[in-house]
Every structure is written in C-alpha cells, then in structure tokens.
Amino acid sequence: GAVVSQHPSRVICKSGTSVKIECRSLDFQATTMFWYRQFPKKSLMLMATSNEGSKATYEQGVEKDKFLINHASLTLSTLTVTSAHPEDSSFYICSALHPQGSIQYFGAGTRLSVL
C-alpha cells in the first residue's frame, strides 16, 4: 500500500511551547490530508481537513488558532500545536487521501506529552 510518513513519533514538551508535527505522503500526491486525535481506548476524532493551497477546514469545537494546519505542497501537511498544555497530550494521527480509490492512508502517529 501507499506510504505516509509522520514525524516525530513521540515528543515531550513543556507547557507553553509549540510543537510541529509533519505528515508526508511518500509515493503519491495528496491534495487532501486529515488530522485526527485519538484518546486512550477511544476512536479517532477528526480535527480538521487539510487542503493543499487553501485553508484547512476545522471540525466543530477544534480551535483553529491553537491547532495550526499548513498544507503547502501536495506531499506535506503540518500540524502545529501552539502554546501546548497538558490537556493537549494525546496521540495525533494524520492521513492522506489517495487520488485514486478513495482510500486514506495513515501515518504512524505522534504521541504528544505536555509536562
């Protein structure tokens, strides 16, 4: 299957700092990527849809100024958690929508721990 790379896999940061997570589609171009958040023993919660060359579409209740999304190229979307707080600690997963077949391919996820 297609490959989506997500980096870093794990990050620990102090409260108040910002953290950037990268999501790259390695073998296909993705005009649309998605960012999810997964709580322990819970399902994936869609945070936002990242559209190449335009603004991201955020789900209701997700603060766009806190979770900045940039999709500057057809293979890269970034999620920046600004002024992180302990309640932002979670597992963040990105996916990229393959242009053929309607399949989303997922990154390996990023475990964010805010101290």
Neighbour count for residue 12 (Cβ, 10 Å): 11
Q: Does 104 bind another protein (CB under 8 A)?
A: yes
**Nearest Cα to 54, choosing from 73, 67, 35, 28?**
73
Radius of gyration for the alpha carbons in the chain, expressed in angstroms and rounded: 13
Find the part of the chain contacting another protein (CB under 8 A) among 60-68, 69-77, 79-87, 101-109. Answer: 101-109
Query: How far is Cα 33 from Cα 7, in angstroms, rounded to an integer?
Result: 15
When the beta carbons of 72 and 108 are compared against another protein, the nearer one is 108
Q: Does 12 bind another protein (CB under 8 A)?
A: no
Of the CA atoms within 13 Å of residue 35, those in its CB half-sphere come to 32
Q: Choose which of 29, 103, 113, 115 interacts with another protein (CB under 8 A).
A: 103
CB of 78 to another protein, least distance (A): 17
Residues lying near another protein in the complex (CB under 8 A): 1, 4, 6, 32, 34, 42-44, 46, 49, 91, 93, 95, 97, 101-109, 111
